Amino acid sequence: MSSGVRVAGAIGFPIAHSLSPRLHRFWLDDLGIAGSYVPLAVRRENFSTVIQGLRSAGFTGVNVTVPHKQAAFAIANTVDEAARKTGAANLLVFEPEGTIHTRNTDVDGLCASLSEEIGSEKIKDKVAVVLGAGGAARAAVLTLDRLGVREVRILNRNLARAINLAAELKPHVRAKLVPLAWSEWNAAATDTALLVNATSGGMAGAEPLDIRVDSLPSEAAVYDLVYNPLETELVKQARRRGLLAANGLGMLMHQAAPAFETFFGAKPQVTPALRAHLEAALRS
């Protein structure tokens, strides 16, 4: 590793589809920083060994994606509040003295994206529905509570997982959390101001999302954490109905900004040029 060149990366399995290397390279070039950000395909059973190797190799840190977010939380010496509440981490920082600090920037990233693309005033003191009960859903619930949502209805195909998620997050939020079965979608949607898809349904290569937006009020908004394809069937449905809709590309960009600043020592900007750059990559 060259002297003075900071190196970071993204760990997941698979990782080839990740936009993170392209995103960070855009910022490195834009800010004129001599640094490198590399994708690292790491199987679940090799995670801790690889982390120790990266520390020894002089990496400043790594972003963490599926399936390692809970393992990243467990391996850290110190954790931030968002990681503690979600029980998962998407950022590991290797401190000079040898400790590993973990953060979860998904909540901040989703909060910034929703505020920018949907508008916090549209959902404050209203009802929201979150589809899913995994790590992304945890971040979504915490975000919605931060934005002042009055009630969050958590729908999952496995009702027990929705119940467990609501119970685990209840001590950390002011909003009322209501776990519901997937079959209760139509009833849950009738007075909803925002629908958030926090599942992989509709993602390129995944099963389609079997949700129709017809039951949503005409003033509702839809946010799909999926960004590949850029316009999922859920987003298409919403826009055909004239509903405000956005994909998860904004969240991806905003959650990456604090990681970049931590890795490379400069604060990047989330700009239309960056979005266009990433959209072009997805289209190609």
- Which is the catalytic residue, given 69, 122, 124, 267? 69
> Which residues partner with 33 through β-bridges?
none
Q: What is the DSSP letter of 266?
A: S
> Which residues partner with 127 through β-bridges?
151
Contacts for 91 with CB less than 8 Å, ≥ 6 apart: 61, 62, 63, 64, 102, 103, 104, 105, 258, 259, 262
Q: Where are the beta strands (DSSP E) in 77-206?
A: 78-79, 91-94, 100-103, 127-131, 151-156, 176-181, 194-197
User: Active site includes 236?
Assistant: no
Give the tokens for residue 40.
């690292």
- Would you say 188 and 127 are in contact if contact means Cβ atoms under 8 Å apart? no
> Which residues partner with 79 through β-bridges?
102
Q: Give the position of tokens 């009322």.
A: 176
- Would you say 198 and 131 are in contact if contact means Cβ atoms under 8 Å apart? yes
Angstrom distance (rounded) from CA 278 to CA 282: 6
- Would you say 180 and 153 are in contact if contact means Cβ atoms under 8 Å apart? yes
Contacts for 272 with CB less than 8 Å, ≥ 6 apart: none
The answer to whether the Cα torsion of 36, 200, 86, 173 is positive or negative is positive
Catalytic site residues?
69
